[in-house]
Structure 1
């Protein structure tokens, strides 16, 4: 069971005070392909085989939601009518990507952060060469890949993204835009309106680096088929990038960066064992999208010496509490938790429990507000040659001990500490520096910014 996922179901406001619902976002042409090659992929007529595949995916995913979704009333949505509408749209659409958008739009009517389509991977992968996120209510470039087109066009960490493909970038809609741009209808180029630290604005067109692959995977390993080994290598690279990372400041402080909740009890025991050798622990959950319920329980059990109720789980047929039990020898020192706008799901639950139980201090930015309990239903077409797809489906709503839900609300930190454009541009980390100060350790923002050098995924 997963707490992972991001919210893309909120309503969003565009210029001219026009409110556009989430489902419309997939239909109004928010994404316009800017590179001719990408336009060819997304605009070409869909073959009868591809259309049949899209209809098959629609039916399987719709039935999975009908069978497993926690609310049998679908929040008032006429689910059968929504399915019929999506089926009609797929019959009329001209590309497989748009057909996947039709299915995503159908699911979006549920307005649920953890219920969404996991479409088949594309026969190509695009890397735009820069990363960006919300900081407060503004969107900033946080990193630029060396030797990328973004770098050659002068895009820099600390640049504010005012518009993306012509649309204002707002906190409530950013995840939805990223889902469209990178998953449903990948863009060969992005049009950015940037503002630098001095307030000067400029327009930039950033081309992606295109990596070709295959939408259909050969898992036999025979006939020269290497797809299975590609999958294995991808998994190995992912495991390296998602490992826990540590920074020690004598015996006074351990900073533990947890990129995702994917660890076993033994792995969490090892983390807590390292923490016990120090007086204080800073747990960095910035950018952590959530993950496994079990990992969340282990980590909570590693910092509390008593049983903790995580939340009440409200399901289709029953309700029951989610309980974390203490590990054998938990960490009992000072605790500071770091969060940002990309901290989601299990990361948000952990931070809020620390607040409710008065176990430590939470600092950083308001979190994502994407907190439900879901399961990924993995589906496939074919046998030896396989197309993988599926859906994340919420099976439990989660109500915290204070009677409130974090869904669409997030966690407001005890101290709001945000890097500014100049911090981002120079690689400083005032959030980690402030966390160290809280526990009595002096670390400059410059030093803190060097604690965890960023590792770009292989191209």
Structure 2
């Protein structure tokens, strides 16, 4: 028996995003013919010797096709074999994607897609949210970095790979998905019902911020999409035309994306005295990448980072810090130091395979370690408070975790509950009444579902107010003092 697989010309892309966002490097295999010989002789692939054990795959295939008790589709066996091979790598970033999943994947960074707007990854066998996109349904619902998704629409995520989980979370605009979340600091899972929307991929936001009499440019990058570098460079040029005294680049909650995008930014920011990053190949060879820039920008730069800053965002942050000595302000980053290539298989499916490590300018590998900020700044405590999930109203003398959360929310909003230990006393009741009066609700002093909803909404709004963003305020002060 002989079986042949003919490989067509394929093109893949370098990937840096945690959940599988990708970038543009092409690989070509011309007229390759792979043969599995029944007699077990070696197989030739572009002059390389492949071990004859591949004959076992052909034998297993024929055995199941001819003898299994039920009829089996060829496609099912082929895809199962590929999934099995990839899964043995024990690499959450290497996955097989069928045609449908590959199409969704390819659309993610090109224009827009329909879903909840959150980057997810697989970590230690768990499906984890890296970061919700800016102003996405996921962000509005209250999902956060490091949330572990334990159920999707009531079905456990145990045993699901990343692509299976992503496919289940995505869906048509207007439909909803129910996610059960395990969050650090909570004893019971949290439930979020998220309405899917069309997620536009505007990835760069800019403005001028004032610090005293100084104008400071601000560029927020939500992810590294196809046109992000073009947009970034255009907006930076416009900011510079307004004579800015410094620049803040915000990559908090940025899960990564096209490697070429972050490269095209760094080429205009990092002088050529150091590489802006390095690639380490499987043989250990390190390839440094340099810009042609002669000198650094004439103004100070600070980069805002947090636990949702991953991959390409970490490349940008580490490059600016190690190559140019710029400050990283905020919290420790996610820690993804590998690069994947998405390789189409000719029928619409593809394999996203880890092929390289990326290293910082100084040769550090930050994988599963993250990058420590040079100036560590945590947000106010209420930024980390979980949303209220009520089974019944909370009232005087109640004593539980939900009361504690409510007290933390009230404190963050400035209503002074007096205590935050979970006991609902008279001072807490007065704080609830004050909030209800402000929101034009009946001032019962009890936290019913409507009051809880408005408390969560008010807290979300407070987190978005610039004056409450301590990390940004520190960055503004830092840049202002540099001039």
Could you tell me how far apart the structure 1 residues matched to 2:148 and 2:228 are?
41
Give the 3 Å change call, closer, same or farther, for CA 120–302 of structure 1 in structure 2: same
1:270 and 2:234 are equivalent in the alignment = yes
Aligned with 1:334 (options 300, 306, 316): 300
Counterpart CA distance in 2 for 1:438 and 1:351 is 14
Q: For residue 473 of structure 2, what is the aligned residue in structure 1?
A: 436
| 1:181 pairs with 2:165 | yes
Shift of 1:372: 2.4
Are 1:108 and 2:87 counterparts?
Answer: yes
Q: Which residue of 2 aligns with 1:5?
A: 17
Equivalent residue runs for 1:237-386 within 5 Å:
238=200, 241-250=201-210, 252-261=215-224, 262-263=226-227, 267-276=231-240, 277-315=243-281, 319-327=285-293, 331-357=297-323, 359-381=325-347
The one of 339, 350, 367 equivalent to 1:390 is: 350
Aligned-pair CA distance for 1:246: 0.6
Q: CA deviation at 1:299?
A: 1.7
Counterparts in 2 of 1:4 and 1:101: CA distance versus 1, 3 Å = farther
Residue of structure 1 in register with 2:384 after alignment: 420
Structure 2 SS opposite 1:246: strand
User: Counterpart of 2:237 in 1: which secondary structure?
Assistant: helix
TM superposition score normalised by structure 1: 0.54
Return closer, same or farther for 1:368/1:158 CA change in 2, 3 Å cut-off: closer
Q: What are the Cα deviations for residues 81-121 of structure 1, in whole angstroms up to 9, with x where unaligned?
A: 99789979997899989986774453133244653223322
Instruction: Note the alpha carbon deviations across 1:333-368, whole angstroms, 9 max, x for none.
Output: 222212233332222112112232352221334333
- 1:245 is displaced (CA, Å) by 1.2
When Rg is computed on C-alpha atoms for both structures, the one with the higher figure is 2
- Tell me the residue number matched to 1:164: 150
Q: In the aligned structure 1, how far is the partner of 2:184 from the partner of 2:337?
A: 34
Partner of 1:454: none
Alignment of 1:185-224 (within 5 A): 189-190=177-178, 192=180, 201=188, 204=191, 206=193
Contact preservation (8 Å) 1:373, 1:398: yes
Structure 1 pair 5/190, CA: closer, same or farther in 2 (3 Å)? Answer: same
Q: Is the 8 A contact 2:147 2:184 kept in 1?
A: no
SS at match of 1:438: helix
SS of match in other structure, 1:308 = coil
State the Cα distance separating 1:420 from its structure 2 match.
1.3
In the TM superposition, residue 279 of structure 1 has moved relative to its aligned partner by 1.3
Distance of aligned partners of 1:89 and 1:269 in 2 relative to their CA distance in 1, 3 Å threshold: farther
Q: CA offset at residue 256 of structure 1?
A: 0.5
Q: Once the two structures are superposed, what CA deviation does each residue of 1:395-454 show, in whole Å capped at 9, x if it has no partner?
A: 3333334443123332222315353125884231589542332332899xxxxxxxxxxx
Instruction: Check conservation: 1:377, 1:391, Cα contact below 8 A.
Output: yes
Q: Distance in 2 between matches of 1:82 and 1:287?
A: 46
* CA 79–318 in structure 1, closer or farther in 2 if over 3 Å, else same: farther
Cα pair 1:158 1:196 within 8 Å, conserved: no
| SS in structure 1 of the partner of residue 89 of structure 2 | coil
RMSD of aligned Cα (Å): 5.6
Contact 1:254–1:278 (Cα < 8 Å) also in 2: yes
Cα separation, partners in 2 of 1:335 and 1:86, compared to 1, 3 Å: farther
- Of 309-318 and 337-346, deviating more is 309-318
Three-state SS of the structure 1 residue aligned to 2:477 is coil
The structural deviation recorded for 1:283 is: 0.8
> Aligned with 2:349: secondary structure?
strand
How far the C-alpha of 1:249 sits from its partner, in A, is: 1.1
2:388 is aligned to: none
Change (3 A) 1:193 1:397: closer
Structure with greater contact order relative to length (CA < 8 Å, sep ≥ 6): 1
How far, CA to CA, are the matches of 2:184 and 2:363 in structure 1?
A: 43
Q: How many Å separate the matches in 1 of 2:473 and 2:276?
A: 27
